[in-house]
Amino acid sequence: MWVSDFMLCVCMCVNQGHAAPVLYAVWAEVGYLKESELLNLRKIDSILEGHPVPKQQFVDVATGSLGQGLGAACGMAYTGKYFDKASYRVFCLLGDGEMSEGSVWEAMAFASFYQLDNLVAILDINRLGQSDPTPLQHHVEKYQKRCEAFGWQAIIVDGHSVEELCKVLGQPRHQPTAIIAQTIKGKGIPAAEDKMGWHGKPLPKDMAESVIRDLQSHILSSSKRLYPATPAENTLPVSLKNIRMPTPPSYRLGDKVATRKAYGMALAKLGRVSERVIALDGDTKNSTFSEIFKNEYPNRYVECYIAEQNMVSVAVGCAARDRNVVFASTFATFFTRAYDQLRMAAISESNINLCGSHCGVSIGEDGPSQMGLEDLAMFRAIPTATVFYPSDGVSAEKAVELAANTKGLCFIRTSRPENAVIYNNSEDFRVGQAKVVYKTNDDHVTVIGAGVTLHEALSAAEQLKKERINIRVIDPFTVKPLDSKTIIDNAKVTRGRIITVEDHYYEGGLGEAVCSAVVSEPGFTVHRLAVAHVPRSGKPSELLKLFSIDRDSIAQAVRKMLSTATNAK
């Protein structure tokens, strides 16, 4: 079969998740799966799930949440053309229903702009969606005009004609190609052909047996055989192991640097180690400071423009098959619009690194639409995610290095304000290891902060010291996984008294993570300081004060906690 030969030799991204049985059957046809395994479809102990996932070695990107496959295919095609410089082509099968997703057209624009002539999208135009006919139904000429308007070569074919499909697949191309295949859903099955109500449903046994007999008769009577040439394998092997910084950090204690800038500097530094370190951004590179990487390695920087959903999908595609170490950055708050792509990246077992800058009210005058206040909750909810929250230049550089070598999704939360460097360049950082940054032999309360609030906590410690009140200050470094042991051990010294302070909403952030970590500890009390409602524009110091997460508010919370403890005696 022509399909099996092509699928063995190219990256293929399938957007039509319900086509999984066909995909599995093809792999069985070429001997990769035992035919008997097909009978275990969707069973709990089988790798053949209801939608393709990377548990199957022949699947690179999970499907099922429609409209994302073309973006991932763009990442694969971009890697093939510009990083691998190889001859392989990437094929993406799309259903007509998902053409209503905006992310498809973000990907269409991306592919055209970057002239991805190694990318082929096959549109299955069968007219019927899950619960209604699709908006354009069988008006294939309208699909053609839309694809052409986005800069694609668009060719209409009879989707049931293998000859037509082979002919168009073999044509030379100089731009991304959309094969608009007009098909009839359920063709050849009178009871189901072009009828609603069959989406994702198996045929009744008697009907299925009749259809199989007809198909077998047709196949046996056909003398046509297609034997396409196998594409050349000219992709060089890549090693992404042990991607380490060439030198230690070079900051001076007390110098002020924003962690967002430290991220950009660290990324550029990491880029010197491997040509497979690449950076993506969504037109915020002069704010996230990924422009530092771009200036040094313009051929390894991918501008995704203001299309964050597609940026995440492209990142997943670029990281597929362990071809690149991928970092993608934008404002932390803009990742919310790509949350479905992020959760699918986790299901795809993807190793992508994301940096969200401008977190919290501390960004100041730009106002709430630009403030990342839900991002910790969002990434903490993703099972494969590691969440870094660096508080100075040294820890930001270490976070970049660790993320490059950590499996799964990594999120680095960076801040806009410049804060003092508090760590020595030789400080060792590890995932899931917190730092006690301030303590005495007689501490009364443990205060946990991160980013700007860690510095506010340190200022509060100096302020309270004058009142002979000592606090212990902890930097979690990673909010997920959280260093529960360090927190519990130090809080026991302060009689279980903990205050968390964060530039994030109460829900799902640092405070809730700490509460979960100590919930089973007897005698522990956690008081949380966080952003209580939708903020407004203002100076950073004014906003920190307004939401009671500044140094004065921390000091007051410590006094109140101690007063309450004294009165309770």
Catalytic residue among 98, 101, 308, 397: 308
Please, is 172 exposed, middle or buried when counting C-beta atoms within 10 Å of its C-beta (0-12, 13-18, 19+)? exposed
SS3 per residue for 371-420 = CECCHHHHHHCCCCCEEECCCCHHHHHHHHHHHHCCCCCEEEECCCCEEE
**Can you say how many angstroms the Cα of residue 519 is from the centroid of all Cα atoms in its chain?**
30
Of 317, 477, 482, whose CA–CA distance to 412 is shortest? Answer: 477
Q: What does the block give as tokens for 262? A: 């430290």
Helices (H), 10-84: 20-29, 69-78
Beta bridge partners of 478: 388
Residue 495, C-beta contacts closer than 8 angstroms, at least 6 positions apart: 444, 523, 565
Separation CA 426–CA 377 (nearest Å): 31
- Among the listed residues 288, 476, 482, the one whose alpha carbon sits nearest the alpha carbon of residue 389: 476
Nearest-angstrom CA–CA distance, 225 and 257:
66
The terminus-to-terminus CA distance of the chain in angstroms comes to: 82
Residue type at 329 in one-letter notation: S
Q: How far is it, in rounded angstroms, from Cα 84 to Cα 290? A: 22
CB 375 within 8 A of CB 411: yes
DSSP annotation of 492: H
Nearest to 531 by CA among 451, 421, 476, 459: 451
- Read off the DSSP letter of residue 226: -
The secondary element (H helix, E strand) that includes residue 206 is helix 205-221
Give CA–CA dist 512/527, Å, rounded.
Answer: 10
**Amino acid letter, 321:** R
Tell me the C-alpha distance between 490 and 245, whole Å: 32
**Can you say how many angstroms the Cα of residue 518 is from the centroid of all Cα atoms in its chain?**
29
Q: Is 308 a catalytic residue?
A: yes
| 3-state secondary structure (DSSP) of residue 530 | strand
Closest C-alpha among 532, 530, 549, 533 to residue 541:
549
As annotated, the active-site residues are: 308
